[in-house]
Structure 1
């Protein structure tokens, strides 16, 4: 502790005697404001106080005699200067504003009061926590997981309700892994922001237990799959056979119905034609035919005409022969 105070005293002495000022690192998030302060007890008498950047531009000039504040044109709407504490506030910082900012007092001599090294950086991205869970026993949950952010990565495992805390850094980014009995926490941070990702380990283990139970049921079902396949094939074969029989019976019935219908129509047509031809033959023709044949059964001629047989001799010729005088 004594050595630390001694170093601070020597640095202050060096600053007042030689005008040398150590750089103070300051980080600001993109779009935010930053305030640069001066320790007034260390400020000597001056005529003009100015804040300059590493481009040698006077961001603001303060004249002690008139208490006049003159901001630079490019910073006119982006700076606030306090004429009592002489602090400078820069607004809406962008990455192009990264650099050195120095407070300088001018009087009998010029002295650098303080110098700030301002770094404008973006906020961190949320970390990604990838989990792979396995059950080692019915009452124990072992979780292997990976915490990743930016160019940083931590691989670890959760077992017996705990895991080993780990931390990795890269320049200004830091990745930290912590575990509790209920959750796994992955934290990503830089000097201006931090974000974390949390997983409920209790719920995770319960979900994985149910998932593994479902896998066991699926495996049991797969053991009966061949029997199920045989039953389905047998059912399809029976269904196709019954469909074939039904189709065949339906076709036979249709054919039988068509045949019966054709027979009925033929009989009706035969009867109609027979009645018509009998009425058209004159009675004399019928009597003469019976006398010539010596047969009193006119059914022979009736049946012949009824069967649509074409007579060998035209009807007119037969009529003439019958009517000719003996």
Structure 2
């Protein structure tokens, strides 16, 4: 009996493991399908964008092609190429019947979201999907100096780059900057603006950017760590003062010589 129970428990455990593996495989499959079919498109606010259909679409009888935004229809095209645009998208879109591409005009941030091209017939088929992200122009950043020092002729500066409710603090010298604390965001995959600090052309540059725009603030390193003039030691004589003394002595000698010659000639001919 105990042997039977042990086998039964082992079987239950095996089934549980298999169920977990199956769930993981299904999840990975769905993620792969999503990333394969959906591609991100970044657009500047107020601009137009064209969503192309890569596949050669040929509608069969009674089939219907449509572009959707989230769960709403943007337009529908019948197998006879009769196109009907939803009222809320009148004068906001253009449809290219030759390749079924869609032009979206004057995009605003609330136009961000999933756009899908679908063919409806005996069953629904997704042709292509886009994840549209509409972004505005980034605000100009502000670069401030927290501290600076010169050690062994090397300028060391701590700066803070601020922009759009976020900031990055970096330690910089004449050739490079390194972030102080925190982790940098990757601009290629992030939908939020990126702040970065780096050195180029003798300046520290605070750059604020997103996928569609950028702005920066700069400060020259020479102005942050000016070279200090070296004062001569106490009691020493400057080169300029030495020249003045030499010229003065020379003039005295010359005048003395002239007076001596003049007196000698006077006594000689007197």
RMSD of aligned C-alpha atoms? 3.3
> TM-score normalised to the size of structure 1?
0.50
Matches within 5 A, 1:173-322: 173-180=193-200, 182-206=202-226
- In the alignment, structure 1 residue 124 sits paired with structure 2 residue 144: no
| Contact 1:134/1:142 (8 A) holds in 2 | yes
Relative to structure 1, the CA distance from residue 203 to residue 49 in structure 2 (aligned partners, 3 Å threshold; closer, same or farther) is same
Query: Which of 18, 35, 40 is equivalent to 2:55?
Result: 40
Give the structure, 1 or 2, with the largest relative contact order (CA under 8 Å, sep 6 or more): 2
Matches within 5 A, 1:75-86: 75-86=89-100
Q: Which has the higher helix share?
A: 1
The whole-number CA distance in structure 1 between the counterparts of 2:169 and 2:47 is 34
The whole-number CA distance in structure 2 between the counterparts of 1:113 and 1:138 is 64
The whole-number CA distance in structure 2 between the counterparts of 1:92 and 1:111 is 29
Relative to structure 1, the CA distance from residue 168 to residue 109 in structure 2 (aligned partners, 3 Å threshold; closer, same or farther) is same
Query: Which of 64, 78, 82 is equivalent to 2:79?
Result: 64
| Contact 1:31/1:92 (8 A) holds in 2 | yes
Instruction: Kindly tell me the number of residue pairs found equivalent between the two proteins.
Output: 192
SS in structure 1 at match of 2:110: helix
Structure 1 equivalent of residue 71 of structure 2:
55
Structure 2 equivalent of residue 275 of structure 1:
none
The whole-number CA distance in structure 2 between the counterparts of 1:85 and 1:127 is 43
Relative to structure 1, the CA distance from residue 202 to residue 48 in structure 2 (aligned partners, 3 Å threshold; closer, same or farther) is same
SS in structure 2 at match of 1:102: strand
SS in structure 2 at match of 1:124: coil
**Structure 1 unaligned spans of 5+:** 1-9, 214-326
Relative to structure 1, the CA distance from residue 143 to residue 165 in structure 2 (aligned partners, 3 Å threshold; closer, same or farther) is closer
Q: Which has the higher strand share?
A: 2
Which 4+ runs in 1 deviate beyond 6 A?
none
Query: Which of 125, 149, 155 is equivalent to 1:111?
Result: 125
Structure 2 equivalent of residue 146 of structure 1:
160
The whole-number CA distance in structure 2 between the counterparts of 1:25 and 1:205 is 44
Name which one, 1 or 2, has greater alpha-carbon Rg: 1
Structure 2 equivalent of residue 158 of structure 1:
172
Relative to structure 1, the CA distance from residue 130 to residue 40 in structure 2 (aligned partners, 3 Å threshold; closer, same or farther) is same
The whole-number CA distance in structure 1 between the counterparts of 2:197 and 2:128 is 38
